[in-house]
Amino acid sequence: MSAPRARTTFEASAPADASFFCHGEDPATPETQQSSLIPQPPDPSTQTQSMSDLIVHGGTPLSGIITPSGNKNSALPILCATLLADGPVTLLNVPHITDVEKLASFFSDQGSAIAWDRAAGRMDIDHAGFDGRRLNGELPAGMRSSVLLFAPLLHRLKKFALPSNAKGCSLGIRELDPHLEILEKLGARVSHGAALKLSLKGRFKGARHWPDYMSVTATENFVMAAALADSESVLLNAASEPHVQDLCAVLAAMGADIDGIGTSRLTVRGVKKLKGGTFTINTDHHEIVTFLALGAITGGEVKVRNSLPQHFDLIARSFAKLGVEIGHQGGTAIVRKNQRLAVEQPFTPNLLPKIEAAPWPYFPVDLLPCMIALAVRAEGAVMFWNKVYEGGFTWMSELSKFGAHVVVSDPHRITVFGAKPLRPAVVEAPYIIRAAVALYMVAASIEGKSVVKNADTIRRAHPNFVENLRSLGAGVEWK
């Protein structure tokens, strides 16, 4: 039995050169409730000059058709899971984003063969030459997928060590404990002092585990480890976000035996090996919602292909609370032009309307900023309740520069009083993907020139953000 562990947390004061960070956006997704986290912003003193400000010429309705990119919160764990396969893997619809670049470079550095056609979104992966001796105690920095390498690396290498100074998240304190607890339950040995050391004798061991809360990345680590365990494993209180479902579906296609996909109880019967193959990354529901919201806030008509309507019931209801109707024609989602933005009043009198965000199947917390931007333009007042991030509303002061009226009740709740006179402004984007998008949304709805400074975090999730906006008629550029 391993020695008792001190509680391992990630704090917002992380050094810029720490070798491991938590994620988002995801996160994808947060560890106090789920694991959609974002890393600390890079130290400007170490960065080369790049175009990071969005110059926005607002007041134009955005209309047109968008084809969304692959879901980065699916692509990253699926890329990590390729280490579990006995043969080569081909992934389609791979988004061309920074985190995928880092992970592909990490694999290449360890000897894997990576061929990536970025324009076509195709990546061919062969880990036959993967050599753990090249690891040198470092995982890719500044990305959610680093923690998702734990289970695959244990399976492949049987042991590795990392520095213990890994910290940092823009959205608040995060912890490694849920991941380490799951790996220990499944037979790994964990110890740490100056270094975090993980080892595995033979195969993972089947086990039953009930964590304190739903964590996206901890659930993904569980299912990757349990897929190759020596017997049946059960995870209660499992996260069930669409990207978790996507990972499970790919593992199942590789030969894993998984029941309960899309629910809070996962049962995994371990198999001896997983095969390679060709798999497609699903489209990003975050990006789908983002462009629908952009159409709504500017009064345009936007259609988004490959829209995953099976995930939209609650999302569509949340749009409706702000006066926006979302329709579907087959696999295409549509927001019609000139919709009247107005907060829907509840049947119960004197009750403040609200939109609550929490782990799936609640409304996705990563999309809350888009709804906040819409509420700024909608007639009426509405409360937003972020049940996940304690630092998710730190950018409200920037929103107020446009003239928005927002009352911050506590770190988790705000009330927006909409339809106030707005004006162009220069605002500072936080290192939160969808918050930067929300600031752009408000700017795009206001006639005149606005600037969203340091908005390049958007590129972490939307590889062709400005190009897509221009195709809809937006006046926007990077500077």
Place of tokens 């995060």: 174
Edge to edge, the sheet with strand 302-304 lists: 64-66, 302-304, 332-335, 326-329
CA-based torsion, 396, 397, 399, 400: positive or negative? positive
295, 335 Cβ separation under 8 angstroms: yes
Q: Which of 432, 477, 463, 455 is nearest to 98 (CA)?
A: 463
User: What are 92's strand-pairing partners?
Assistant: 280
Task: State the Cα–Cα distance between residues 468 and 195, nearest whole angstrom.
Answer: 44
Task: State the Cα–Cα distance between residues 148 and 221, nearest whole angstrom.
Answer: 6
Q: Which of 268, 191, 203 is nearest to 230 (CA)?
A: 203
- Round the CA-based radius of gyration of the chain to a whole number and report it: 22
Edge to edge, the sheet with strand 189-192 lists: 159-163, 195-199, 189-192
Catalytic residue from among 80, 169, 248, 370 = 169
Neighbours of 208 (CB within 10 A): 11
Q: What is the dihedral of CA 145, 148, 152, 158, to 10 degrees?
A: 110
Cβ contacts of 322 within 8 Å, gap of 6 or more: 341, 342, 343, 344, 371, 374, 375, 378, 382
Q: Which of 366, 378, 396, 435 is nearest to 54 (CA)?
A: 435
| Known catalytic membership, residue 370 | no
Active site residues: 169
